[in-house]
Amino acid sequence: MNRPWTVALTGGIASGKTALAALIAGARIPVVDSDAIARELTAPGEPGAVDLRENLDPAFFGVDGALDRRRLREAMTVDPGLRRLVESLLHPLIWARLESRILAYSDASWVLCVIPLLTEVGETPASLTIDRKLVVDCNENTQIARLIVRDRIGREGALRLLSLQSSRETRLSRADDLVVNESGLGELAASARDLVRDYTRRSQNRTGSFPDAAPARLH
């Protein structure tokens, strides 16, 4: 089975990952989303939900057995031990299903793999081959403003969410390519078009870099 050339998209919370992924998907590029897979795995009866049910306080589940995702996320912001436990249970399952989804696109020239926590999890499994790392970025004040509107939370709540992620400097240091998302959807769409063109060319050459290529910065 052929494995498609794979680009991992990451970035800080509220940086524009979802919007950029949607724009790339609109160009008929397959997109695999680790957050969507996590939601699948924690649905009632799924392996992740079973493992969480066996290891977490019943208060994190509704009377119907469904995981209260918001309550768990809020608890994880103040309890690092709980966060580590949840990650130890879910990450192996997420990686395995992520790899399976990528391989399902064996006829595609390349696949975009959205991994919001790519820089938080350390090394990815050896089975998950990433050919290029793409970071979408904006300054922290922009993130905070977007979170306040999107999640209907105060500034302190937004800062807590930011504190759970790796630093902006860490993400930028690991980027092969960078999209700056400060100016709105129009410029983000232009960046998406440039990325599709560039990654399609790279995938056809089956290589992650070119001798004269520095990390790309798109606005």
Both 137 and 52 in one domain: the answer is: no
* Closest listed residue to residue 2, CA positions, set 98, 110, 106, 129: 106
> Can you give the residue range of the structural domain that contains 208?
1-30+110-219
Q: How many domains does the chain have?
A: 2
Euclidean distance between CA atoms 52 and 62, whole angstroms: 13
Determine the pLDDT at residue 126.
67
Other residues' Cβ atoms within 10 Å of the Cβ of residue 118: 22
Determine the pLDDT at residue 212.
36
Both 89 and 194 in one domain: the answer is: no
- Strands 216-218 and 110-114 come out as unpaired
Euclidean distance between CA atoms 80 and 164, whole angstroms: 9
- pTM here is 0.86
Strands, sheet with 31-33, edge to edge from the N-terminal-most edge strand:
31-33, 110-114, 5-11, 132-137, 177-180, 216-218
Residue where a domain stops, chosen among 78, 104, 130: 104
Both 26 and 52 in one domain: the answer is: no
Both 117 and 185 in one domain: the answer is: yes
Both 3 and 61 in one domain: the answer is: no
Per-residue pLDDT of the chain (219 residues; tens, 9 = 90+): 688 999 999 999 999 999 999 999 999 999 999 999 999 999 999 999 999 999 999 999 998 889 999 899 889 988 989 999 999 999 999 999 999 999 999 999 999 999 988 887 656 776 788 999 999 999 999 999 999 999 999 999 899 889 888 889 999 998 999 999 998 889 999 999 999 999 999 998 875 443 333 344 554
Both 129 and 152 in one domain: the answer is: yes
Both 121 and 210 in one domain: the answer is: yes
Determine the pLDDT at residue 149.
95
* Closest listed residue to residue 79, CA positions, set 96, 59, 95, 62: 59
* Closest listed residue to residue 4, CA positions, set 124, 126, 104, 93: 104
Tell me the two tokens of residue 97. Answer: 């299903």
Determine the pLDDT at residue 210.
39
Identify the residue whose tokens are 């994190």.
60
Both 204 and 119 in one domain: the answer is: yes
Residue where a domain stops, chosen among 89, 104, 119: 104
